[in-house]
């Protein structure tokens, strides 16, 4: 399968930390994401996309960055050729696909 990101429709969101766990922390600004990249906590989105391009079932239509259970995760929204929507969680440091869920 060829993966060609043509555009990302949803804005990429930076994550913020929540004290005490709970729900995933989602973003206030891009500066948090940039700081995490500069600190080596996460890899840049372009690097992650290159790592997972053959593992995604379709076209990326949205991305956000979250902190889940202490780990940074990129959450990709992907639409396959049949129009099905998938939510794919990728470890933002290693690039490993952690889970895939059809929406």
The pLDDT profile of the chain, 103 residues, written as one tens digit per residue, is 444 443 333 334 333 333 233 444 554 567 888 888 999 999 999 999 999 988 898 999 999 998 888 899 999 999 999 999 999 999 999 999 999 999 9
Q: How far, rounded to the nearest angstrom, does the alpha carbon of residue 54 sit from its chain's CA centroid?
A: 15
- Residue 28's pLDDT is 55
Q: Which residues of 14-53 are buried (b: 16+ CB within 10 A; e: fewer)?
A: bbeeeeeeeebbebeeeebbeebbeeeebbebeebbebbe
Question: What pTM, to 2 d.p., does this model score?
Answer: 0.71
pLDDT at 26: 52
Count Cβ atoms below 10 Å from residue 67 Cβ, excluding itself: 22
């Amino acid at each position: 399968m060829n993966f060609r990101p043509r555009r990302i429709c949803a804005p990429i969101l930076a994550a913020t930390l929540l004290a005490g766990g709970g729900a995933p922390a989602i973003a206030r600004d891009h500066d948090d994401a940039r700081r995490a990249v500069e600190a080596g906590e996460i890899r840049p989105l372009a690097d992650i996309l290159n790592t997972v391009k053959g593992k995604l079932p379709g076209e990326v239509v949205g991305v956000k960055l979250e902190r889940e259970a202490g780990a940074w995760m990129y959450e990709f929204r992907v639409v396959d050729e049949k129009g099905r929507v998938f939510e794919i969680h990728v470890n933002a440091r290693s690039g490993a696909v952690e889970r895939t869920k059809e929406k």
